[in-house]
């Protein structure tokens, strides 16, 4: 497992050496649930930032420290003034880091670019089958929602009947 704190400090030092002024990061989190992203930067109400890094970056030995640092720097650059999107100043700063340190910081990085396979989310199974008692229209839902919980209050868009029945698939 890679040493996150050491990598984070190296990234902060490299960004400062380029003369880039970053925002205040309130919290750093290793996210063990994220499967479709490498990192995330979120601006809090008080103007500080929270950064999450996927645990896969740190735990997978196929992913290099350089690839790990690219993601950390990517997220840190979002804390710079006017850099929450991947345009303008953010892109300029990313290009500066790429040129100076030989990184490949960009908007989206596929798994293959980090040395691992792309994440393929498994298909969710249908959990609810709603059937209109008036016309027989069928609606399939994978997750619970207002409609699946309160189906008796909804009218059918085809026939206007308020006669839904719900079948829950296990």
Tens of pLDDT, residues 43-102: 999 999 999 999 999 999 999 999 999 999 999 999 999 999 999 999 999 999 999 999
26 φ, ψ (degrees, to nearest 5): -80, -35
* Residue 117: pLDDT band with limits 50, 70, 90: confident
Q: Is the pLDDT of residue 120 over 70?
A: no
Predicted local confidence at residue 156, as pLDDT: 95
41 with 51: CB under 8 angstroms? yes
Report the distance separating Cα 113 and Cα 100, nearest Å.
20
Q: Is the pLDDT of residue 19 over 70?
A: yes
Predicted local confidence at residue 155, as pLDDT: 95
Predicted local confidence at residue 116, as pLDDT: 86
Tens of pLDDT, residues 126-139: 999 999 999 999 99
Q: Is 24 helix (H, G, I), strand (E, B) or coil?
A: coil
Q: What is the pTM of this model?
A: 0.72
Predicted local confidence at residue 126, as pLDDT: 93
Q: Alpha helix (H) ranges present in the chain? A: 4-17, 55-59, 65-77, 88-101, 111-114, 146-149
Q: Is the pLDDT of residue 140 over 80?
A: yes
Q: Is the pLDDT of residue 121 over 80?
A: no
Predicted local confidence at residue 170, as pLDDT: 78
Average pLDDT, the chain: 93
């Amino acid at each position: 497992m890679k040493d996150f704190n050491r990598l984070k400090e190296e990234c902060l030092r490299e960004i400062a050496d380029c003369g880039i002024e970053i925002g205040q990061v309130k919290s750093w989190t290793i996210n063990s649930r994220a499967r479709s992203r490498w990192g995330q930067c979120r601006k809090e109400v008080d103007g500080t930032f929270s950064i999450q890094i996927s645990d896969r970056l740190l735990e997978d030995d196929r992913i290099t420290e350089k690839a790990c640092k690219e993601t950390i720097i990517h997220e840190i650059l979002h804390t710079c003034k006017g850099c929450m999107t991947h345009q303008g100043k953010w892109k300029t700063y990313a290009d500066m880091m790429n040129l100076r340190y030989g990184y490949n910081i960009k908007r989206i990085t596929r798994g293959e670019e980090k040395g691992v396979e792309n994440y393929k989310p498994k298909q969710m199974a249908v959990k609810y089958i709603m059937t209109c008692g008036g016309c027989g229209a069928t609606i399939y839902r994978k997750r619970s929602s207002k409609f699946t919980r309160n189906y008796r209050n909804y009218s059918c868009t085809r026939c206007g009947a308020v006669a839904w029945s719900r079948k829950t698939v296990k």
